[in-house]
Amino acid sequence: MVVSALGGTTDALIAAGRSAAASNEAYREALHGLEQRHLAAAQELLPTASQQASLDLLRSQFAELQRVCDGVFALGELSARTLDKLMSYGELLSSQLVAAAAKQQGLDAAWADSRQLIRTNSRFGNAEVDMAATDLQVKAYLNAHKARLWVVPGFIGADAQGNTTTLGRGGSDYTAALLAAALGAEVLEIWTDVSGMMTADPRLVSSARPIARISYQEAMELSHFGAKVLYPPTIQPVMQRGIPLWIKNTFAPQDHGTLVEVAPPRTAAVVRGISSISSLALLSLEGSGMVGIPGFSRRLFAALARERINVILITQSSSEHSICVGVNEADAARSQDAVDEEFATEIAAGRIEPLRVETGLAIVALVGENMKSHPGISGKLFGALGHNGVNIRAIAQGSSEKNISTVIQAADVRKAINVVHEAFFEATYKQVNLFVLGAGNVGGKLLDLLARQQAYLLDKLRVQVRVVALASSRHCAVSDEGLDLGSWAAALDAAPPLGLDEFTQLIIDKNLRNSVLVDVTATPDTVRCYAPLLAKSVAVVACNKVAASSDYAFYAHLKSLAQEFNAPFLFETNVGAALPILNTLQDLVRTGDRVQRFEAVLSGTLNFVFNHYDGSQPFAEVVRQAQAAGVTEPDPRLDLSGTDVARKALILAREAGEVMEMSDIEIQGFLPASCFEGDVEAFYAQMLREEAHFRALYDQAAAQGKKLRFVAQYAEGRAKVGLQQLAPDHNLYDLRGKDNAIQFYTDCYVEQPLVIKGAGAGGEVTAAGVFADIMRAVL
Using only C-alpha atoms, what is the Rg of the chain? 36
Q: What are the helix and strand counts (H, E) for the chain?
A: 27, 27
Query: What DSSP letter does each residue of 367-382 carry, written as one string?
Result: E-GGGTT-TTHHHHHH
Give Cα 675 distance to the centre of its chain: 53
Distances (CA, A) of 23 to 67, 72, 78: 15, 9, 11
Strand, coil or helix: 601: strand
Q: Are 270 and 208 in contact (CB under 8 A)?
A: no
Q: Are 198 and 208 in contact (CB under 8 A)?
A: yes
Give catalytic residues, as residue numbers: 648
Angle between helices 80-104 and 9-21 (to 10 degrees): 150
Q: Which among 185, 195, 198, 199 has a CA at the least distance from the CA of 245?
A: 185
User: Which of the 8 DSSP states describes residue 153?
Assistant: E
Burial code (b: 16+ CB inside 10 Å, e: under 16) for 445-473 equals bbbbbbbebbeebeeeeebbbbbbbbbbe
Beta strands 476-478 and 463-471: pairing type?
Answer: antiparallel
Q: Are 144 and 164 in contact (CB under 8 A)?
A: no
| Interatomic CA distance for residues 479 and 469, integer angstroms | 6
Q: Are 145 and 112 in contact (CB under 8 A)?
A: yes
Q: Which among 260, 215, 239, 237 has a CA at the least distance from the CA of 367?
A: 215
The residues with which 190 forms a beta bridge, in sequence order, are 247
Strand, coil or helix: 269: coil
Query: What DSSP letter does each residue of 395-440 carry, written as one string?
Result: EEE-TT-SEEEEEEEGGGHHHHHHHHHHHH-TTSPEEEEEEEE--S
The residues with which 323 forms a beta bridge, in sequence order, are 285, 316
- Strand stretches in 159-257, DSSP E: 164-166, 188-192, 213-215, 245-249
The sheet that has 403-409: what strands, in order across it?
A: 311-316, 322-328, 273-286, 356-367, 403-409, 394-397
Q: Are 377 and 384 in contact (CB under 8 A)?
A: no
The residues with which 407 forms a beta bridge, in sequence order, are 363, 394
Q: Are 337 and 303 in contact (CB under 8 A)?
A: no
| Interatomic CA distance for residues 225 and 313, integer angstroms | 11
